[in-house]
Each structure stands twice: as C-alpha cells, then as structure tokens.
A = this chain, B = another copy of it.
C-alpha cells in the first residue's frame, strides 16, 4: 500500500483567480482518498492532479464559507453526469444538506448515486468516523462561523510475518499466522516457547494528519493534534497583520508555528494565504522563527506523512 500523503489542490483564501485556488486537498490514507474542503474549481484541480473522481467516497467540509465549498455542487453534479453509482458520504456543518438539495430540486435532478450526510454540530473533539483501518475526529476551531478541523489517524495494523524464521519451525502452520500477527508467542509441539518478536516484524508506524482551517490562534487545538505527523494549519496573514487576523477569525504564520511547536508535530504545512501576500515563502520564513520543519504548501504538490 502507498504511503499516506496529502495533495494540495488549492491553498489560498477567499477569491479564486488565475493563479490562486481556494481550499481543497486530498488525503491518501490506507487506500482511501479523502477530499477535504472543495472551493470553486476543485473538480478541474482534481483533473490536473490526475486524481480519479471515483476514488473519492468521503468528503469533509470544514465550514460554510464559500472558499471552502463553492466547488462542491459542481463536483457532485459532475459525478452524476459521469454516471457515478457509488454512494458518497459528506461530513459538514448543518446547512450544507439544504444547500445541495435546493440545487437539485430546481434542476429537477434525481441523482444516480446517494449522498449520506453526516451533519457536524458538536463543539467537542469527537470521533466522527471509524473503520478497521482509520479513525477520524472533528477538531473544534474558532472562526467567525461554526468550523471544524479534522484529525485522520491510521489504526495499528497487525505485525508482519518473518517468513524466513517461521519456515525454520515446521510446527507452525498457516492457521497459526493470525495469532502471530496479533503478537502472540508460539508454543512448539515439544513445549518450547518462541517469543513473537523472533517470528514477526513491527508493523508500520501509525501515521496521522490534522487539518486546521479556518481558525483564529486557538490554544485548545493543541491537545487534539499532539504528535501528528503532518499538520496543515491556516496562516492567512503575516504577523504585521495580526490585528486583522484577530478581527477576521484567522491566524498568522507565527501563530500557526506556535501551535505546531506546542503540539510537537512532526511537520507543519501552511496555507489559506491571503491574496495580499503574493510571495508565499514569506509565510514559511516567518513560521521558521518558531518551528523548524515547516513548508508553505503549494497547489498540485504532494506531501508525504
């Protein structure tokens, strides 16, 4: 299986232009392609990134400001026109369902696939989805309207069999493999105990990703994103505009770096840049004053966890 990765489709705030694309990204994790936010033009960015529409079966919308979801109705409509039958689940604040339904009502569209709406309304850190491979949590953010970040965490996978060692012990049959993967020791027919570590390898490290946008500088986030491998934290402004950040419910690059440092994350990605700063490397430079492993995210670039 491919290593978990994040592909940025858009990482600018508010108004789309020729060069600036509003928020949208794809997290590839354990075989899933999670679409996080969906600003206008996301479907064309997905094409540019060569991401197959059919791989997306979960969509996460952080909040209902246009630069985070105005591309969704177009994407859902395109799914329909392309004959999609696979259902899709959308995790979003209350309101999105009404917005989607009113569009399809007036175009008299009966979708060929079904949409499951998971309406987010909690102000707590909460598990919103879990399967055998992944857990996903909502992270309360502080913005002008109700907004959530998301934490995606792989589940531990089973230990890997060390076939070279296993073959040396004829007593071990295929039916024993499951117990070995679960970490159990092996008892031979003559009563010898063989420790599990001798017969298996450690499973791959559990990886995690946190998406935090849009949000003010908000310390309660820290405990929820402790030690994540990759944190995307908005940095709409530079510190010279800190007051504007406060007034608009956004953060500066410095503040994003402070959150990353306190949460001891492995790597920080910046984004949701205001269009008034054309050189995004300034965000990176400013964040580096506080937290070393930081990068200013760029559209159509992939970052490995």
Least Cβ–Cβ distance between A49 and chain B, in angstroms? 11
In the bound complex, residues from chain B placing their C-beta under 8 Å from that of A205 are none
Bound form: Cα–Cα A193–B231 in Å:
87
In chain B, what residue has the closest Cβ to A71?
B40
A18 partner residues in chain B, CB cutoff 8 A: 44, 47-48
Q: How many copies does the complex hold?
A: 2
Q: Which chain A residues in 1-19 approach chain B with CB under 8 Å?
A: 14-18
User: Which among A44, A65, A144 has the greatest number of chain B C-beta atoms within 10 A?
Assistant: A44
Q: Residue A95 at the B interface, CB < 8 A?
A: yes
Please determine whether B106 and A99 come into contact, CB atoms closer than 8 angstroms.
yes
A105 on the interface (CB 8 Å rule)?
A: yes
Q: Does A98 lie at the interface of the complex (its beta carbon under 8 Å from any beta carbon of B)? A: yes
A32 at the interface (CB under 8 A from B): no
* In the complex, A169 has a CB within 8 A of chain B: no
List B contacts of A17 (CB < 8 A). 44, 47
Question: What is the bound-complex CA distance between A65 and B74, given in angstroms?
Answer: 10
| A77 in contact with B70 given A41-B40, A48-B18 (CB within 8 Å) | yes
Chain A interface size range: 35 or more
Whether, in the assembled complex, A78 has its beta carbon less than 8 Å from a beta carbon of chain B, the answer is yes
Say yes or no for A43: interface residue by CB 8 A criterion. Answer: yes
Report if A102-B99 is in contact (Cβ < 8 Å); known contacts: A17-B47, A40-B74.
yes
| Residues of chain B with a CB closer than 8 A to A40's CB | 40-41, 43, 71, 74
A107 contacts B by Cβ under 8 Å: yes
A-B contacts, 19 of them at CB < 8 A, read A17-B44, A40-B40, A40-B41, A41-B44, A64-B107, A66-B77, A66-B103, A70-B73, A70-B77, A93-B106, A95-B102, A95-B106, A96-B106, A98-B106, A99-B103, A99-B106, A102-B102, A107-B145, A108-B144
12 additional A-B pairs beyond A14-B78, A15-B81, A16-B43, beta carbons within 8 Å, are A15-B78, A18-B44, A40-B71, A41-B41, A41-B44, A64-B106, A66-B77, A70-B77, A98-B102, A99-B102, A102-B102, A108-B145
The 9 tightest CB contacts between A and B, nearest first, are A95-B106, A40-B74, A66-B77, A64-B106, A70-B74, A15-B78, A64-B107, A102-B102, A99-B102
